[in-house]
Amino acid sequence: MLIKIPKSYDLKESDVTPEAVYLNRRELLKGMGFLGAGALLATASANANAGWFSKDEPRKFKTTPLKYTPDTNPDKLILTPESKVISHNNFYEFGAQKQQPQELAQNFNVNPWQLTIGGACDKPITLDYHDLSSMFPLEERIYRLRCVEAWSMVIPWIGFSLADLLKKVAPNASAKYVLFETLDDPEQMPGQANRRLGGGIAYPYVEGLRLDEAMNPLTLMSVGLYGKTLPPQNGAPIRLVVPWKYGFKSIKSIVSIKLVSQQPQTTWHKLAPKEYGFYANVNPEHDHPRWSQASERHITTGGLFARNRIKTLAFNGYGEQVAHLYKGMNLRRFF
């Protein structure tokens, strides 16, 4: 008979780190407030896809190719590389730091999905995952994206006009505004479950447009980018893109669109009404209280030495198509 006397250094079953804790060890480190070398190492490995922590590299979300009419890109806009578009995201549901959504959203489940369109309309409908990309012919739209934080990109979105969708539900006379809501699912969205990770904003995220803004042909419901379905960090399976407004208006992972009679209370506006207006039209002449909006850091290729500071355009360069919506309005008051 083998008699085993445990040595003082032998590990007991109870000493084993629970798997969930082990899998979350990077988050634990970050959670402890070590924003210094730890953050840098995490970044280095994530960026170089290095093998240091290769075992906990997230399982990659599968995107699929879409059929669409290509944009001829008449303005010859130079696209921001796909790798940057999908790794630099403000999607606080998956972490408030720019690289976190890519790291933390890869297991996000978008199928099945339900998007309900209702409120003040005659024919409310509910779309499922398959409907999102098959209900309307898809087209590519190459748009400038201007973040309220004064950086910008150029992104080839794929989708359909929100106007087409709204016409289907037949808005009635009391419909004046459109209210959008992101999925509320703390189990899938760690930022909703953890206040520090989620940046301390209220969930679910809500945004809104005036009905005429929503009906403008530029306003896009996007289901893809760079020829494929949206990655989760960019708002899969369906998101809004309003190219003449600051990026926070373009709400991601939408589950509800509602026609309403009153101007809705929107997430960032509620949090800091002096900093983020309901309209949030890109306006180089109206500064954010804490930084200038006159110019922007344009994200293309190149490291620190890229000469990428450019002047910000009124309505982000889409004045011709949308300035008439705001005729006679004081845009300093309704910022």
What residue ranges bind another protein (CB under 8 A)?
33, 35-37, 39-40, 43-44, 47-48, 80, 83-85, 87-88, 92, 96, 98-99, 149, 151, 195-196, 199-201, 271-272, 287, 289-292, 294-295, 297, 299, 301-305, 307, 309
Shortest distance in whole angstroms from residue 288 CB to another protein: 9
Rounded to a whole number of angstroms, the minimum distance from the CB of residue 270 to another protein is: 11
Q: Please say which residue, 87 or 116, places its beta carbon nearer to another protein.
A: 87
Query: Which of these, 44, 276, 228, 246, lies nearest to 153 by C-alpha position?
Result: 246
Query: Considering beta carbons, is residue 248 or 279 the nearer one to another protein?
Result: 248
Q: What span, in angstroms and rounded, lies between the C-alpha atoms of 230 and 223?
A: 6
Least CB distance from residue 268 to another protein, whole Å? 8
Question: Cβ 308 to another protein, closest distance in Å?
Answer: 8
Closest approach of Cβ 100 to another protein, in Å? 11
Least distance to another protein, CB of residue 301, Å: 7
Name the residue nearer to another protein (CB basis): 39 or 313: 39
Q: Which is nearer to another protein, 67 or 195 (CB)?
A: 195
Tell me how far, at minimum, the Cβ of 330 lies from another protein, in Å.
Answer: 22
Q: Which of 12, 307 has the CB closer to another protein? A: 307
Pick the closer one to another protein by CB: 123 or 196: 196
Residue 152 or 188 having the CB closest to another protein: 152
